[in-house]
Structure 1
Amino acid sequence: MANITIMCGSVFGAAQELAELIKLTLSEVGHNTMLNIPCSTADMDNADAILIVTSTTGQGELPSNIEPFYFNAKNNMPMQTGKLFGVICLGDSSYTTYGKAGDLMQELFIELQAKEAFPMLKVDAVQTLEPETLALPWLEQWVKRL
């Protein structure tokens, strides 16, 4: 089983609730999981895989509790060569910046030379009131790639 680090950016709690459910789900099938809120670049050190669960806020910004991680990683470039990652982004497609925080995290991990295990999932609040209905099936596919 894999050591999976979950990093979460949440403003109003929906992304955090989803991250907590994902942690529980992964733990129940035997993965060693760590949920970090707030998170730091050191949280990636012992991970086999990294899962980012974030919402988008404002004009396409990252939530304030994951922003320090993002800028620290962007400035210091702690390479994650070949390490598997995934991104789940919650957002609202009625905004032109829909899912931008997920895009930022995906781009960051690609710059860090990590490998995307499965394409990013963007959960649109306009279409889905319960993000876990899309996230848990996506998670099953993501885990198969580890």
Structure 2
Amino acid sequence: MSVVILYGTETGNGELVADAIADTLAADHDPSIYDMSEFAVEDLDPEDFLVIVCSTYGEGELPTGAEPFAEELESVNPDLTGLRFAVFGLGDSIYDTFNRGGEIVAEMLTKRGAVQVGEHARHDNSSAIKPAKQAAEWAEGISQEI
């Protein structure tokens, strides 16, 4: 099955995490990676499995890289029935809005009929765990859901 990995990032960590997830999933699946700012909502296909990698910016907002995708989801309001997805969020637990970016995208997708599967991963930048390492381990579990 094809896996589409979309990342929304402010500093580039999301792209590194997306690469780590793709490397892990490539053993059993056919992953492709796209920056959310360059991916058209009309290209979402229920035949694909979607992985969202999204950081949190500012006071719990989406990062700049995820805003065009979110705005297009709002304006087009597609029926995403049949689309399955998983989320890996990035944030820092020193903030009250810890990992809110990934939650926002998940809410937007489920509101339109998509179904979230697996554990919603939440990397904590205040931890000693590197995000790409946590992402690779998470992707091993998600691979079973695809």
Q: Deviations over 1:66-125 (max 9, x none)?
A: 111111112222122122101100100101111110110110111121111113111111
| Equivalent residue number for residue 106 of structure 1 | 106
Equivalent residue number for residue 6 of structure 1: 5
Match of 2:67 in 1: 67
- Counterpart of 2:19 in structure 1 is 20
**Aligned ranges for residues 12-91 of structure 1 at < 5 Å?**
12-27=11-26, 29-37=27-35, 38=37, 39-45=39-45, 47-91=47-91
Equivalent position amino acid for 2:11 in 1: F
Count residues in correspondence. 144
Determine if contact 1:49/1:84 at 8 Å carries over to the other structure: yes
- Which structure's relative contact order is higher, taking Cα pairs within 8 Å and 6+ residues apart? 2
Superposition deviation, residue 129 in structure 1: 4.0
* TM-align CA RMSD: 1.5
Scaled by the length of structure 1, the TM-score of the pair is: 0.90
Deviation at 1:47, TM superposition (A): 4.7
Identity of aligned residues (%): 29
In the aligned structure 1, how far is the partner of 2:46 from the partner of 2:32?
10
Q: Structure 1 residues 110, 46: closer, same or farther in 2, change over 3 A?
A: closer
In 2, distance between residues paired with 1:32 and 1:46?
A: 15
Cα gap change, 1:62 to 1:47, in 2 (>3 Å): farther
State the alpha-carbon separation in 2 of the partners of residues 32 and 14 from structure 1. Answer: 22
Instruction: Output the CA distance in 1 between the equivalents of 2:105 and 2:17.
Output: 17
| C-alpha distance in 2 between matches for 1:113 and 1:46 | 11
Q: Is the 8 A contact 1:10 1:65 kept in 2?
A: yes
**Runs of 4+ in structure 1 over 2 Å off:** none
Mapped to 1, the partners of 2:120 and 2:128 lie a distance apart of 16
Deviation at 1:46, TM superposition (A): 6.6
Q: Unpaired segments of 5 or more residues in structure 1?
A: none
* Aligned partners of 1:3 and 1:46 also within 8 Å: no
| Unmatched runs of 5 consecutive residues or more in structure 2 | none
